Chain A
Amino acid sequence: MDFGIGISKDRDAIKAGKEACKQALSSIKKPDLIILFTSTIFDIEALVSSVFLASSKAPMIGCTTSGEIYNDIFFGSCLVIAVKCSSGEEIDVLSIEDIYKNPRKSGQEIVRDEYDKGLLLVLSDGLFSQTSLLVKGINDYLSPCVSLIGALAGDDLKRNKTYQFLNGKVFTQGMVSAFFKTSSRIKTSLRHGFSPKSPPLRVTSSKENAIYQIDSHRAAKVYLEFLGLSEDELAFGNPIDIKEVRNSPIGIPQTTGDYKIKSFLEFRKDGSIACDSYIPENSIICILGQNPSSLINAGCEAISDAISEIHPKIVFLFPSSYRMLILGEDAKNEIDEIKKETKDVPMVGFYGYGEIGPLRTHRADFHNKSIAVLAIE
Protein backbone atom coordinates (compact mmCIF):
# COMPACT_ATOMS: atom_id res chain seq x y z
CA MET A 1 0.00 0.00 0.00
CA ASP A 2 1.33 3.47 -0.89
CA PHE A 3 0.30 6.89 0.35
CA GLY A 4 0.40 10.48 -0.90
CA ILE A 5 -0.37 13.48 1.31
CA GLY A 6 -1.43 17.05 0.54
CA ILE A 7 -2.52 20.00 2.65
CA SER A 8 -3.90 23.43 1.82
CA LYS A 9 -4.76 26.54 3.80
CA ASP A 10 -6.24 28.43 0.87
CA ARG A 11 -9.46 30.12 2.07
CA ASP A 12 -11.28 29.27 -1.16
CA ALA A 13 -12.81 25.78 -0.69
CA ILE A 14 -12.52 24.78 -4.36
CA LYS A 15 -8.93 25.96 -4.66
CA ALA A 16 -8.00 24.34 -1.32
CA GLY A 17 -9.49 20.99 -2.36
CA LYS A 18 -7.70 21.06 -5.71
CA GLU A 19 -4.39 22.10 -4.20
CA ALA A 20 -4.38 19.45 -1.44
CA CYS A 21 -5.48 16.80 -3.91
CA LYS A 22 -2.79 17.79 -6.44
CA GLN A 23 -0.08 17.44 -3.78
CA ALA A 24 -1.43 14.09 -2.57
CA LEU A 25 -1.67 12.74 -6.12
CA SER A 26 1.78 13.92 -7.17
CA SER A 27 3.23 10.55 -6.18
CA ILE A 28 0.07 8.41 -6.52
CA LYS A 29 -1.70 7.83 -9.80
CA LYS A 30 -5.29 6.50 -9.83
CA PRO A 31 -5.79 6.27 -6.05
CA ASP A 32 -7.94 3.49 -4.57
CA LEU A 33 -9.04 5.75 -1.72
CA ILE A 34 -9.01 9.42 -0.84
CA ILE A 35 -9.25 10.39 2.83
CA LEU A 36 -10.20 13.99 3.59
CA PHE A 37 -9.84 15.62 7.03
CA THR A 38 -10.87 19.25 7.05
CA SER A 39 -11.64 22.25 9.20
CA THR A 40 -15.23 23.53 9.16
CA ILE A 41 -13.90 26.92 8.06
CA PHE A 42 -14.56 25.96 4.42
CA ASP A 43 -17.78 25.65 2.45
CA ILE A 44 -17.92 21.92 3.13
CA GLU A 45 -20.10 20.91 0.16
CA ALA A 46 -17.83 22.83 -2.25
CA LEU A 47 -14.64 21.41 -0.72
CA VAL A 48 -15.85 17.81 -0.80
CA SER A 49 -17.00 18.13 -4.43
CA SER A 50 -13.70 19.76 -5.35
CA VAL A 51 -11.65 16.92 -3.81
CA PHE A 52 -13.93 14.25 -5.31
CA LEU A 53 -13.64 15.71 -8.81
CA ALA A 54 -9.92 16.45 -8.52
CA SER A 55 -9.31 12.80 -7.67
CA SER A 56 -11.37 11.67 -10.70
CA LYS A 57 -14.12 10.42 -8.41
CA ALA A 58 -11.93 7.93 -6.57
CA PRO A 59 -13.63 6.25 -3.57
CA MET A 60 -13.54 8.77 -0.76
CA ILE A 61 -14.23 9.05 2.98
CA GLY A 62 -13.60 11.84 5.43
CA CYS A 63 -14.89 14.15 8.10
CA THR A 64 -14.54 17.56 9.66
CA THR A 65 -12.10 18.11 12.51
CA SER A 66 -11.10 20.31 15.43
CA GLY A 67 -7.51 20.59 14.21
CA GLU A 68 -5.63 18.76 11.49
CA ILE A 69 -2.36 16.87 11.91
CA TYR A 70 0.32 16.58 9.27
CA ASN A 71 3.59 16.14 11.19
CA ASP A 72 2.41 19.18 13.18
CA ILE A 73 -0.90 20.72 14.27
CA PHE A 74 -2.82 22.86 11.77
CA PHE A 75 -6.04 24.83 12.06
CA GLY A 76 -8.25 25.98 9.20
CA SER A 77 -6.72 23.61 6.67
CA CYS A 78 -7.80 20.65 4.56
CA LEU A 79 -5.73 17.49 4.49
CA VAL A 80 -5.93 14.87 1.73
CA ILE A 81 -4.43 11.40 1.99
CA ALA A 82 -4.38 9.34 -1.22
CA VAL A 83 -4.09 5.56 -0.85
CA LYS A 84 -2.93 3.19 -3.58
CA CYS A 85 -3.39 -0.55 -3.14
CA SER A 86 -0.75 -3.09 -4.07
CA SER A 87 -1.67 -6.22 -5.96
CA GLY A 88 -4.16 -8.38 -4.05
CA GLU A 89 -5.29 -5.49 -1.86
CA GLU A 90 -8.76 -3.91 -1.95
CA ILE A 91 -10.61 -1.07 -0.24
CA ASP A 92 -14.36 -1.03 0.34
CA VAL A 93 -16.11 2.16 1.49
CA LEU A 94 -19.52 2.32 3.19
CA SER A 95 -21.74 4.83 4.96
CA ILE A 96 -24.69 4.96 7.32
CA GLU A 97 -26.40 8.30 6.78
CA ASP A 98 -28.30 8.36 10.09
CA ILE A 99 -26.77 6.64 13.11
CA TYR A 100 -29.23 8.23 15.56
CA LYS A 101 -32.21 5.95 14.82
CA ASN A 102 -30.63 2.67 15.90
CA PRO A 103 -26.95 2.98 16.80
CA ARG A 104 -26.29 -0.69 17.50
CA LYS A 105 -27.86 -1.76 14.20
CA SER A 106 -25.94 0.99 12.38
CA GLY A 107 -22.71 -0.44 13.78
CA GLN A 108 -23.69 -3.95 12.70
CA GLU A 109 -24.58 -2.74 9.19
CA ILE A 110 -21.15 -1.24 8.54
CA VAL A 111 -19.60 -4.72 8.80
CA ARG A 112 -19.83 -7.08 5.83
CA ASP A 113 -19.39 -10.83 6.09
CA GLU A 114 -16.43 -10.73 3.71
CA TYR A 115 -14.41 -8.46 6.07
CA ASP A 116 -12.30 -11.35 7.29
CA LYS A 117 -8.79 -9.89 7.61
CA GLY A 118 -7.42 -6.35 7.46
CA LEU A 119 -8.36 -2.96 8.83
CA LEU A 120 -11.63 -1.10 9.36
CA LEU A 121 -11.30 2.69 9.62
CA VAL A 122 -14.45 4.38 10.97
CA LEU A 123 -15.28 8.11 11.12
CA SER A 124 -18.56 9.16 12.69
CA ASP A 125 -20.54 12.12 13.98
CA GLY A 126 -18.77 13.69 16.94
CA LEU A 127 -21.87 15.00 18.69
CA PHE A 128 -23.68 11.67 19.00
CA SER A 129 -24.06 10.64 22.64
CA GLN A 130 -24.37 6.89 21.99
CA THR A 131 -21.21 6.10 20.07
CA SER A 132 -20.38 3.33 22.55
CA LEU A 133 -23.45 1.45 21.26
CA LEU A 134 -22.35 2.05 17.69
CA VAL A 135 -18.96 0.48 18.44
CA LYS A 136 -20.62 -2.43 20.24
CA GLY A 137 -22.64 -2.99 17.06
CA ILE A 138 -19.48 -3.01 14.94
CA ASN A 139 -17.84 -5.50 17.32
CA ASP A 140 -20.89 -7.79 17.22
CA TYR A 141 -20.03 -8.99 13.71
CA LEU A 142 -16.43 -7.86 13.12
CA SER A 143 -13.91 -10.68 12.96
CA PRO A 144 -11.11 -10.41 15.54
CA CYS A 145 -8.73 -10.70 12.56
CA VAL A 146 -9.78 -7.20 11.48
CA SER A 147 -8.22 -4.25 13.35
CA LEU A 148 -10.72 -1.53 14.17
CA ILE A 149 -9.67 2.10 14.54
CA GLY A 150 -11.51 5.38 14.21
CA ALA A 151 -12.45 8.77 15.50
CA LEU A 152 -15.40 11.07 15.95
CA ALA A 153 -15.53 14.11 13.71
CA GLY A 154 -14.90 17.58 15.14
CA ASP A 155 -16.10 21.05 14.23
CA ASP A 156 -13.29 23.36 15.35
CA LEU A 157 -14.51 23.05 18.98
CA LYS A 158 -17.84 24.77 18.25
CA ARG A 159 -19.81 21.59 19.17
CA ASN A 160 -22.55 22.64 16.80
CA LYS A 161 -22.49 20.29 13.78
CA THR A 162 -19.94 17.81 12.43
CA TYR A 163 -19.80 16.44 8.88
CA GLN A 164 -18.88 13.09 7.37
CA PHE A 165 -18.16 12.45 3.69
CA LEU A 166 -18.48 9.51 1.33
CA ASN A 167 -17.81 9.66 -2.42
CA GLY A 168 -18.61 13.37 -2.71
CA LYS A 169 -21.72 13.22 -0.47
CA VAL A 170 -21.91 15.06 2.85
CA PHE A 171 -23.81 13.88 5.98
CA THR A 172 -24.18 15.40 9.43
CA GLN A 173 -25.42 12.54 11.62
CA GLY A 174 -23.69 9.65 9.95
CA MET A 175 -20.78 7.29 9.90
CA VAL A 176 -18.41 6.40 7.07
CA SER A 177 -15.95 3.56 6.89
CA ALA A 178 -13.17 2.13 4.77
CA PHE A 179 -12.26 -1.53 4.96
CA PHE A 180 -8.70 -2.29 3.87
CA LYS A 181 -8.31 -5.87 2.71
CA THR A 182 -4.56 -6.07 2.97
CA SER A 183 -1.73 -8.33 3.94
CA SER A 184 0.34 -5.29 5.02
CA ARG A 185 1.14 -5.36 8.71
CA ILE A 186 -1.09 -3.04 10.71
CA LYS A 187 -0.89 -2.02 14.36
CA THR A 188 -3.34 0.00 16.40
CA SER A 189 -3.05 1.39 19.90
CA LEU A 190 -4.72 3.79 22.31
CA ARG A 191 -3.75 5.43 25.61
CA HIS A 192 -5.01 8.32 27.76
CA GLY A 193 -2.62 9.11 30.63
CA PHE A 194 -5.27 9.66 33.34
CA SER A 195 -5.00 7.95 36.73
CA PRO A 196 -7.22 7.77 39.84
CA LYS A 197 -7.17 10.71 42.25
CA SER A 198 -10.13 9.74 44.44
CA PRO A 199 -10.70 6.58 46.44
CA PRO A 200 -13.08 4.08 44.80
CA LEU A 201 -16.68 5.38 44.81
CA ARG A 202 -19.86 3.39 44.30
CA VAL A 203 -22.60 4.37 41.86
CA THR A 204 -25.57 3.67 44.12
CA SER A 205 -28.23 4.89 41.69
CA SER A 206 -28.06 5.14 37.90
CA LYS A 207 -30.25 4.73 34.86
CA GLU A 208 -28.77 4.16 31.41
CA ASN A 209 -26.10 6.85 30.98
CA ALA A 210 -27.13 9.02 33.97
CA ILE A 211 -25.59 8.74 37.44
CA TYR A 212 -28.06 9.84 40.13
CA GLN A 213 -26.20 8.90 43.28
CA ILE A 214 -22.62 8.22 44.26
CA ASP A 215 -22.17 6.60 47.71
CA SER A 216 -25.87 7.37 48.39
CA HIS A 217 -25.48 11.14 47.85
CA ARG A 218 -26.36 13.33 44.88
CA ALA A 219 -23.82 12.54 42.14
CA ALA A 220 -23.04 16.17 41.26
CA LYS A 221 -22.50 17.05 44.95
CA VAL A 222 -20.02 14.21 45.55
CA TYR A 223 -18.13 14.88 42.35
CA LEU A 224 -17.94 18.67 42.57
CA GLU A 225 -17.03 18.66 46.26
CA PHE A 226 -14.15 16.29 45.60
CA LEU A 227 -12.80 18.87 43.17
CA GLY A 228 -13.22 21.64 45.77
CA LEU A 229 -16.22 23.07 43.93
CA SER A 230 -19.80 23.41 45.09
CA GLU A 231 -23.17 22.43 43.68
CA ASP A 232 -23.84 26.17 43.41
CA GLU A 233 -21.82 25.99 40.18
CA LEU A 234 -24.94 24.44 38.63
CA ALA A 235 -26.71 27.79 38.95
CA PHE A 236 -24.13 29.39 36.64
CA GLY A 237 -24.59 26.97 33.74
CA ASN A 238 -23.32 23.54 32.90
CA PRO A 239 -20.11 22.80 34.84
CA ILE A 240 -18.72 20.57 32.05
CA ASP A 241 -17.00 23.69 30.71
CA ILE A 242 -15.22 24.40 34.04
CA LYS A 243 -11.52 23.62 33.71
CA GLU A 244 -11.39 21.37 36.81
CA VAL A 245 -14.31 19.29 35.52
CA ARG A 246 -12.88 19.02 32.01
CA ASN A 247 -9.57 17.86 33.47
CA SER A 248 -11.11 15.31 35.88
CA PRO A 249 -13.37 12.75 34.22
CA ILE A 250 -14.49 9.62 36.00
CA GLY A 251 -13.15 6.19 35.15
CA ILE A 252 -14.23 2.60 35.61
CA PRO A 253 -11.43 0.18 36.57
CA GLN A 254 -10.57 -2.50 34.02
CA THR A 255 -8.97 -5.91 34.51
CA THR A 256 -5.99 -4.62 32.47
CA GLY A 257 -5.23 -2.11 35.26
CA ASP A 258 -6.41 0.82 33.11
CA TYR A 259 -9.43 3.03 33.70
CA LYS A 260 -12.15 3.36 31.07
CA ILE A 261 -12.90 7.09 30.91
CA LYS A 262 -16.52 8.19 31.00
CA SER A 263 -16.93 11.76 29.85
CA PHE A 264 -19.68 14.04 31.09
CA LEU A 265 -22.37 15.31 28.75
CA GLU A 266 -24.38 17.32 31.25
CA PHE A 267 -24.83 18.15 34.94
CA ARG A 268 -28.58 18.25 35.51
CA LYS A 269 -30.54 20.44 37.89
CA ASP A 270 -31.63 17.36 39.89
CA GLY A 271 -28.02 16.65 40.82
CA SER A 272 -27.55 13.81 38.34
CA ILE A 273 -24.73 13.60 35.81
CA ALA A 274 -25.28 12.39 32.23
CA CYS A 275 -22.28 10.52 30.83
CA ASP A 276 -21.25 9.54 27.32
CA SER A 277 -22.15 5.88 27.81
CA TYR A 278 -24.06 3.41 29.96
CA ILE A 279 -23.09 3.24 33.68
CA PRO A 280 -24.47 0.17 35.43
CA GLU A 281 -25.77 0.58 38.97
CA ASN A 282 -23.23 -0.54 41.59
CA SER A 283 -20.31 0.26 39.30
CA ILE A 284 -17.18 1.27 41.14
CA ILE A 285 -15.72 4.49 39.76
CA CYS A 286 -12.83 6.81 40.50
CA ILE A 287 -12.36 10.49 39.77
CA LEU A 288 -9.33 10.69 37.49
CA GLY A 289 -6.63 13.29 37.14
CA GLN A 290 -3.62 13.97 34.93
CA ASN A 291 -0.74 16.32 34.32
CA PRO A 292 0.89 17.41 31.05
CA SER A 293 3.69 14.87 31.33
CA SER A 294 1.33 11.95 32.03
CA LEU A 295 -0.69 12.86 28.92
CA ILE A 296 2.39 13.31 26.72
CA ASN A 297 3.92 10.08 28.04
CA ALA A 298 0.68 8.28 27.21
CA GLY A 299 0.84 9.63 23.64
CA CYS A 300 4.43 8.38 23.35
CA GLU A 301 3.45 5.02 24.80
CA ALA A 302 0.63 4.69 22.26
CA ILE A 303 2.96 5.42 19.34
CA SER A 304 5.72 3.13 20.69
CA ASP A 305 3.20 0.34 20.99
CA ALA A 306 1.88 0.96 17.46
CA ILE A 307 5.23 1.11 15.71
CA SER A 308 6.88 -1.72 17.63
CA GLU A 309 7.54 -4.75 15.45
CA ILE A 310 6.67 -2.96 12.20
CA HIS A 311 8.27 -0.36 9.92
CA PRO A 312 5.30 1.85 9.07
CA LYS A 313 4.92 3.81 5.83
CA ILE A 314 2.39 6.09 7.49
CA VAL A 315 1.02 6.78 10.97
CA PHE A 316 -2.50 8.06 11.65
CA LEU A 317 -3.10 9.93 14.92
CA PHE A 318 -6.56 10.55 16.36
CA PRO A 319 -6.15 12.54 19.59
CA SER A 320 -9.12 13.89 21.51
CA SER A 321 -9.75 17.61 21.18
CA TYR A 322 -10.04 17.60 25.00
CA ARG A 323 -6.32 16.84 25.15
CA MET A 324 -5.70 20.02 23.20
CA LEU A 325 -7.85 21.97 25.67
CA ILE A 326 -6.22 20.36 28.71
CA LEU A 327 -2.66 20.60 27.40
CA GLY A 328 -2.97 24.08 25.91
CA GLU A 329 0.46 25.09 24.59
CA ASP A 330 1.75 21.62 25.50
CA ALA A 331 -0.48 20.03 22.83
CA LYS A 332 2.21 20.83 20.29
CA ASN A 333 4.79 19.19 22.59
CA GLU A 334 2.74 15.98 22.57
CA ILE A 335 2.78 15.90 18.76
CA ASP A 336 6.50 16.81 18.69
CA GLU A 337 7.34 14.03 21.16
CA ILE A 338 5.35 11.55 19.08
CA LYS A 339 7.15 12.79 15.96
CA LYS A 340 10.48 12.00 17.64
CA GLU A 341 9.33 8.39 17.91
CA THR A 342 8.08 8.10 14.32
CA LYS A 343 11.15 9.95 12.90
CA ASP A 344 10.74 10.29 9.11
CA VAL A 345 7.44 8.42 8.88
CA PRO A 346 4.67 10.82 7.77
CA MET A 347 2.11 11.44 10.49
CA VAL A 348 -1.46 12.46 9.62
CA GLY A 349 -4.75 12.68 11.52
CA PHE A 350 -6.99 15.08 13.36
CA TYR A 351 -8.33 16.20 16.72
CA GLY A 352 -11.87 14.88 17.20
CA TYR A 353 -14.58 14.40 19.81
CA GLY A 354 -13.92 10.74 20.61
CA GLU A 355 -11.65 7.84 19.73
CA ILE A 356 -12.14 4.21 18.74
CA GLY A 357 -9.23 1.90 19.43
CA PRO A 358 -7.79 -0.81 21.70
CA LEU A 359 -6.68 0.21 25.21
CA ARG A 360 -4.24 -2.61 26.00
CA THR A 361 -6.75 -5.13 24.62
CA HIS A 362 -7.15 -6.86 21.29
CA ARG A 363 -10.62 -5.51 20.57
CA ALA A 364 -11.24 -1.79 20.01
CA ASP A 365 -13.75 0.16 22.06
CA PHE A 366 -15.07 3.73 22.25
CA HIS A 367 -12.91 6.05 24.35
CA ASN A 368 -12.65 9.66 25.33
CA LYS A 369 -9.83 12.11 26.14
CA SER A 370 -7.39 9.61 24.67
CA ILE A 371 -5.17 9.27 21.63
CA ALA A 372 -5.69 6.49 19.08
CA VAL A 373 -2.87 5.49 16.75
CA LEU A 374 -2.80 3.46 13.54
CA ALA A 375 0.45 2.41 11.87
CA ILE A 376 0.45 0.78 8.42
CA GLU A 377 3.53 -0.94 7.00
Chain B
Amino acid sequence: MKEEGLEKEKELEKNIALLSILYSTAVWNIKAETEDEIMRIGLDRINEVLKPEIAAILALKDGFLRIVAGTGIPKSICEKTKIEIGVGVCGEVFLTGRPITIPCLSKDPSFIDPFVKEVPVKSVFCYPIRIDDNIVGVVWLGFLSFHPPLKEEEWLVSLVAERLALSLQIHRLKNL
Protein backbone atom coordinates (compact mmCIF):
# COMPACT_ATOMS: atom_id res chain seq x y z
CA MET B 1 0.00 0.00 0.00
CA LYS B 2 2.81 2.36 1.02
CA GLU B 3 4.79 1.42 -2.09
CA GLU B 4 1.76 2.12 -4.26
CA GLY B 5 1.44 5.56 -2.67
CA LEU B 6 5.12 6.27 -3.32
CA GLU B 7 4.78 5.17 -6.92
CA LYS B 8 1.77 7.49 -7.37
CA GLU B 9 3.70 10.34 -5.77
CA LYS B 10 6.63 9.75 -8.14
CA GLU B 11 4.28 9.64 -11.12
CA LEU B 12 2.67 12.90 -10.00
CA GLU B 13 6.08 14.55 -9.56
CA LYS B 14 7.12 13.42 -13.03
CA ASN B 15 3.92 14.87 -14.49
CA ILE B 16 4.50 18.18 -12.71
CA ALA B 17 8.08 18.19 -14.05
CA LEU B 18 6.84 17.55 -17.57
CA LEU B 19 4.20 20.24 -17.31
CA SER B 20 6.86 22.66 -16.01
CA ILE B 21 9.19 21.89 -18.91
CA LEU B 22 6.40 22.20 -21.48
CA TYR B 23 5.28 25.51 -19.97
CA SER B 24 8.74 27.06 -19.79
CA THR B 25 9.47 25.95 -23.36
CA ALA B 26 6.17 27.27 -24.68
CA VAL B 27 6.82 30.77 -23.30
CA TRP B 28 10.57 30.65 -23.92
CA ASN B 29 12.01 33.84 -25.32
CA ILE B 30 15.40 33.65 -27.07
CA LYS B 31 17.56 36.74 -26.72
CA ALA B 32 20.44 36.71 -29.19
CA GLU B 33 22.43 38.99 -31.48
CA THR B 34 22.79 36.74 -34.53
CA GLU B 35 20.87 33.95 -36.25
CA ASP B 36 23.66 31.46 -35.49
CA GLU B 37 23.44 32.42 -31.82
CA ILE B 38 19.67 31.82 -31.88
CA MET B 39 20.30 28.35 -33.32
CA ARG B 40 22.99 27.64 -30.70
CA ILE B 41 20.69 28.67 -27.83
CA GLY B 42 17.92 26.61 -29.41
CA LEU B 43 20.10 23.52 -29.51
CA ASP B 44 21.20 24.06 -25.91
CA ARG B 45 17.53 24.12 -24.95
CA ILE B 46 16.89 20.86 -26.84
CA ASN B 47 19.82 19.25 -25.05
CA GLU B 48 18.51 20.43 -21.68
CA VAL B 49 14.99 19.13 -22.14
CA LEU B 50 15.39 16.08 -24.38
CA LYS B 51 18.90 14.87 -23.55
CA PRO B 52 19.76 13.42 -26.97
CA GLU B 53 23.19 11.81 -27.31
CA ILE B 54 23.89 13.71 -30.50
CA ALA B 55 22.04 16.65 -32.07
CA ALA B 56 22.26 19.29 -34.75
CA ILE B 57 20.43 22.21 -36.25
CA LEU B 58 20.94 22.53 -39.98
CA ALA B 59 20.07 25.59 -42.04
CA LEU B 60 20.14 26.40 -45.74
CA LYS B 61 23.39 28.08 -46.76
CA ASP B 62 24.60 28.41 -50.38
CA GLY B 63 21.99 25.90 -51.59
CA PHE B 64 22.97 23.16 -49.11
CA LEU B 65 21.94 22.23 -45.59
CA ARG B 66 24.85 22.98 -43.25
CA ILE B 67 25.30 22.40 -39.52
CA VAL B 68 24.89 25.73 -37.71
CA ALA B 69 24.87 24.22 -34.22
CA GLY B 70 25.90 20.73 -33.17
CA THR B 71 26.31 18.54 -30.11
CA GLY B 72 28.52 15.48 -30.19
CA ILE B 73 29.70 16.03 -33.75
CA PRO B 74 33.46 16.59 -34.27
CA LYS B 75 34.44 20.08 -35.40
CA SER B 76 35.83 18.98 -38.78
CA ILE B 77 32.62 17.09 -39.60
CA CYS B 78 30.47 20.10 -38.59
CA GLU B 79 32.50 22.30 -40.90
CA LYS B 80 32.52 20.06 -43.96
CA THR B 81 28.96 18.70 -43.81
CA LYS B 82 26.76 19.85 -46.68
CA ILE B 83 23.61 17.99 -47.52
CA GLU B 84 21.63 18.31 -50.69
CA ILE B 85 17.94 19.09 -50.35
CA GLY B 86 15.97 15.85 -50.43
CA VAL B 87 18.92 13.65 -49.38
CA GLY B 88 18.97 11.73 -46.06
CA VAL B 89 16.61 12.43 -43.18
CA CYS B 90 17.52 16.13 -42.92
CA GLY B 91 17.20 16.74 -46.64
CA GLU B 92 13.88 14.92 -46.78
CA VAL B 93 12.40 16.87 -43.85
CA PHE B 94 13.62 20.14 -45.34
CA LEU B 95 12.09 19.26 -48.71
CA THR B 96 8.71 18.04 -47.50
CA GLY B 97 8.32 20.07 -44.29
CA ARG B 98 7.14 16.93 -42.56
CA PRO B 99 8.88 15.58 -39.43
CA ILE B 100 10.47 12.14 -39.55
CA THR B 101 11.02 9.82 -36.60
CA ILE B 102 12.92 6.56 -37.01
CA PRO B 103 12.93 4.47 -33.81
CA CYS B 104 15.28 1.85 -35.28
CA LEU B 105 17.69 3.19 -37.88
CA SER B 106 19.35 -0.16 -38.65
CA LYS B 107 16.15 -1.19 -40.40
CA ASP B 108 16.53 1.72 -42.81
CA PRO B 109 20.22 2.53 -43.33
CA SER B 110 19.48 4.65 -46.40
CA PHE B 111 18.36 7.34 -43.94
CA ILE B 112 21.78 7.74 -42.31
CA ASP B 113 22.86 11.37 -42.56
CA PRO B 114 26.53 11.88 -43.53
CA PHE B 115 27.53 13.60 -40.29
CA VAL B 116 26.79 10.48 -38.18
CA LYS B 117 28.36 7.81 -40.37
CA GLU B 118 30.97 7.06 -37.68
CA VAL B 119 28.50 6.97 -34.78
CA PRO B 120 26.21 3.98 -34.05
CA VAL B 121 22.98 6.01 -33.96
CA LYS B 122 19.89 3.84 -33.47
CA SER B 123 16.98 6.31 -33.30
CA VAL B 124 16.47 9.63 -35.05
CA PHE B 125 13.94 12.49 -34.78
CA CYS B 126 14.00 15.31 -37.29
CA TYR B 127 11.68 18.34 -37.28
CA PRO B 128 11.40 21.26 -39.68
CA ILE B 129 11.92 24.89 -38.60
CA ARG B 130 9.18 26.73 -40.42
CA ILE B 131 8.67 30.46 -40.87
CA ASP B 132 5.23 30.97 -42.41
CA ASP B 133 5.25 28.62 -45.40
CA ASN B 134 9.03 28.48 -45.72
CA ILE B 135 11.26 25.82 -44.18
CA VAL B 136 14.47 27.52 -43.03
CA GLY B 137 16.16 24.61 -41.32
CA VAL B 138 15.77 21.37 -39.44
CA VAL B 139 16.31 20.13 -35.91
CA TRP B 140 17.94 16.67 -35.89
CA LEU B 141 18.25 14.47 -32.78
CA GLY B 142 20.03 11.11 -32.50
CA PHE B 143 20.01 8.45 -29.80
CA LEU B 144 22.46 5.57 -29.46
CA SER B 145 19.82 3.20 -28.10
CA PHE B 146 16.41 2.19 -29.38
CA HIS B 147 14.30 5.23 -28.53
CA PRO B 148 10.79 5.40 -29.95
CA PRO B 149 9.63 9.01 -29.46
CA LEU B 150 7.22 9.65 -26.61
CA LYS B 151 4.29 11.95 -27.30
CA GLU B 152 5.70 14.57 -24.91
CA GLU B 153 9.09 14.45 -26.68
CA GLU B 154 7.39 15.13 -29.99
CA TRP B 155 5.58 18.09 -28.42
CA LEU B 156 8.83 19.41 -26.98
CA VAL B 157 10.82 19.22 -30.23
CA SER B 158 8.02 20.83 -32.20
CA LEU B 159 7.67 23.53 -29.52
CA VAL B 160 11.39 24.31 -29.63
CA ALA B 161 11.27 24.39 -33.45
CA GLU B 162 8.34 26.84 -33.27
CA ARG B 163 10.07 29.09 -30.73
CA LEU B 164 13.23 29.03 -32.84
CA ALA B 165 11.29 30.02 -35.93
CA LEU B 166 9.58 32.85 -34.07
CA SER B 167 12.91 34.17 -32.75
CA LEU B 168 14.43 34.02 -36.22
CA GLN B 169 11.45 35.90 -37.64
CA ILE B 170 11.68 38.63 -34.98
CA HIS B 171 15.44 38.90 -35.53
CA ARG B 172 14.97 39.27 -39.30
CA LEU B 173 12.25 41.89 -38.88
CA LYS B 174 14.49 43.88 -36.53
CA ASN B 175 17.29 43.79 -39.09
CA LEU B 176 15.22 44.82 -42.13
A residues with CB within 8 A of B: 108, 111, 113, 116, 136, 139-145, 196, 200, 253-257, 280-284, 361-363
Residues of A within 8 A of B27 (CB): 282
Contact across chains for B28 and A144 when beta carbons are under 8 A apart: no
Extra inter-chain contacts (20) besides given A141-B73, A253-B20, A256-B51, CB under 8 Å: A108-B75, A111-B75, A113-B74, A141-B70, A141-B74, A141-B75, A143-B72, A144-B119, A145-B144, A253-B17, A253-B18, A255-B18, A255-B50, A255-B153, A255-B156, A257-B14, A280-B24, A281-B29, A362-B144, A363-B53
Q: How far is the CB of A136 from chain B (nearest CB, A)?
A: 6
The residue that B72 contacts in the complex, of A139, A196, A281, with Cβ under 8 A, is A139
Instruction: Give the total of B residues in contact with A, Cβ under 8 Å.
Output: 38
Contact across chains for A254 and B74 when beta carbons are under 8 A apart: no
Of all chain B residues, which has the CB nearest A254? B17
| Given A143-B119, A282-B27, A257 contacting B75 (CB threshold 8 A) | no
A and B contact pairs by CB, cutoff 8 A, 12 listed: A108-B75, A140-B71, A141-B70, A141-B72, A145-B144, A253-B16, A253-B21, A255-B18, A255-B50, A283-B24, A284-B21, A363-B52
Contact across chains for A140 and B51 when beta carbons are under 8 A apart: no
Contact across chains for B16 and A200 when beta carbons are under 8 A apart: yes
Contact across chains for B17 and A257 when beta carbons are under 8 A apart: yes
Q: How far is the CB of B91 from chain A (nearest CB, A)?
A: 23
Q: How far is the CB of A139 from chain B (nearest CB, A)?
A: 5
B47 near A: Cβ within 8 Å?
Answer: yes
Of all chain B residues, which has the CB nearest A146? B72
| Given A200-B16, A255-B50, A284-B20, A136 contacting B44 (CB threshold 8 A) | yes
The residue that A113 contacts in the complex, of B20, B54, B75, B119, with Cβ under 8 A, is B75
Top 5 A-B pairs, shortest CB-CB distance: A253-B17, A284-B20, A144-B53, A361-B51, A113-B74
Contact across chains for A116 and B118 when beta carbons are under 8 A apart: yes
Q: How far is the CB of B90 from chain A (nearest CB, A)?
A: 18
Residues of A within 8 A of B119 (CB): 143-145
B135 near A: Cβ within 8 Å?
Answer: no
**Among residues 87 to 138 in chain B, which have CB atoms less than 8 Å away from a CB atom of chain A?**
118-120
Of all chain B residues, which has the CB nearest A284? B20
A256 to B14, CA, bound (A): 8
A122 to B119, CA, bound (A): 23
Of all chain A residues, which has the CB nearest B76? A113
Contact across chains for A255 and B70 when beta carbons are under 8 A apart: no
Contact across chains for A363 and B72 when beta carbons are under 8 A apart: yes
